[in-house]
């Protein structure tokens, strides 16, 4: 099926599922196209109606909201796809960033495709791309790992496998575990270049770059706050810590 285009001629939005990226912190990252889709859609499916209600009110937009999150995803996915199949324009957003990237939306996309409904990406911020692009680590090949298992053998084995990779690895990590992750990497590969990208697009945006040993030492001295992306450079970039 042909994807409808949002041409500059201001034609009305065709029916479909619109995956609308939203800011990961900085409200200036809302594009005119994102705002237009949110303004002209019939309904906005979101994770948290209060959070998205605030975003819409800052943009001066009033649209009906319907909640869509990991606990009602399966049921809602079918319902949203059906509504689009019946002619509605359904915008799907998450609390921050691009829908479907470590966030719900995959099921609604599948349900829509299953019904022959157009799925239209309205691209914009995503922490994975923002962090990678400014990390200074190779960007020609990278793997997005999302969230690691939180603890135990599963986490250690996953990390060992990732450290064997010859591409940059991008991990979403909670601030409470960021220092621990740096230590875990340092224990296995102290000379590996890593980057902690924190609070992207926000007032306290920070990139902490160095070998795993250096970054672990630095993070050991402070309390890590805010949202974090942790990046690990490819195996070939590992420095010999001995010297």
* Contact window for ligand SAM (CB under 6 A) among 5-13, 53-61, 90-98, 136-144: 90-98
Residue from 19, 96, 179, 215 in contact with ligand SAM (CB under 6 A): 96
By the rule CB under 6 A, 34 interacts with ligand SAM: no
By the rule CB under 6 A, 68 interacts with ligand SAM: no
Cα 192 to chain centroid distance, Å, stands at 24
Sorted by sequence, the CB contacts under 8 Å of residue 13 that are 6+ apart come out as: 4, 6, 37, 40, 41, 89
Chain position whose Cβ is nearest to ligand SAM = 97
Residue from 24, 90, 182, 231 in contact with ligand SAM (CB under 6 A): 24
Q: Are 122 and 90 in contact (CB under 8 A)?
A: no
| Residue placing its CB nearer to ligand SAM in the complex, 56 or 85 | 56
23: left (phi over 0), alpha (psi -120 to 50) or beta: beta
For residue 168, which of 131, 205, 214, 217 has the smallest C-alpha distance? 131
| DSSP β-ladder status, 228-232 and 193-198 | antiparallel
Contact positions with ligand SAM (CB under 6 A) in 171-230? 172-173, 197, 199-202, 227-229
* Contact window for ligand SAM (CB under 6 A) among 122-130, 149-157, 158-166, 235-243: 122-130
By the rule CB under 6 A, 127 interacts with ligand SAM: yes
| DSSP β-ladder status, 16-20 and 119-122 | parallel
By the rule CB under 6 A, 231 interacts with ligand SAM: no
Q: Are 160 and 149 in contact (CB under 8 A)?
A: no
By the rule CB under 6 A, 101 interacts with ligand SAM: yes
* Contact window for ligand SAM (CB under 6 A) among 6-14, 89-97, 183-191, 216-224: 89-97
Q: Are 102 and 31 in contact (CB under 8 A)?
A: no
**Interface positions with ligand SAM (CB under 6 A):** 24-25, 94, 96-98, 101-103, 126-128, 172-173, 197, 199-202, 227-229
């Amino acid at each position: 099926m042909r994807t409808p285009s949002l041409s500059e001629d201001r034609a009305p939005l065709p029916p479909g599922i619109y995956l609308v990226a939203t800011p990961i912190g900085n409200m200036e990252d809302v594009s005119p196209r994102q705002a237009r889709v949110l303004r002209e859609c019939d309904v906005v499916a979101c994770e948290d109606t209060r959070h998205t209600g605030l975003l819409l009110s800052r943009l001066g937009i009033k649209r009906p909201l319907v909640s869509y999150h990991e606990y009602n995803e399966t049921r809602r996915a079918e319902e949203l796809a059906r509504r689009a199949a019946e002619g509605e324009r359904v915008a799907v957003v998450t609390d921050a960033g691009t829908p479907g990237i470590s966030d719900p939306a995959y099921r609604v996309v599948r349900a829509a495709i299953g019904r022959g409904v157009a799925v239209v990406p309205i691209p914009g911020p995503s922490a994975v791309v923002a962090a990678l692009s400014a990390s200074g680590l190779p960007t020609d090949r990278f793997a997005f790992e999302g969230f690691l298992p939180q603890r135990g053998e599963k986490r250690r084995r996953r990390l060992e496998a990732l450290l064997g990779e010859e591409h940059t690895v991008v991990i979403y990590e909670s601030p409470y575990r960021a220092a621990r992750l740096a230590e875990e990497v340092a224990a296995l590969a102290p000379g590996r270049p890593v980057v902690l990208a924190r609070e992207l697009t926000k007032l306290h945006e920070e990139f902490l770059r160095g070998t795993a040993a250096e970054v672990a030492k630095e993070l050991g001295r402070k309390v890590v706050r805010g949202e974090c992306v942790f990046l690990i450079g490819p195996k070939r970039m590992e420095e010999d810590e001995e010297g």
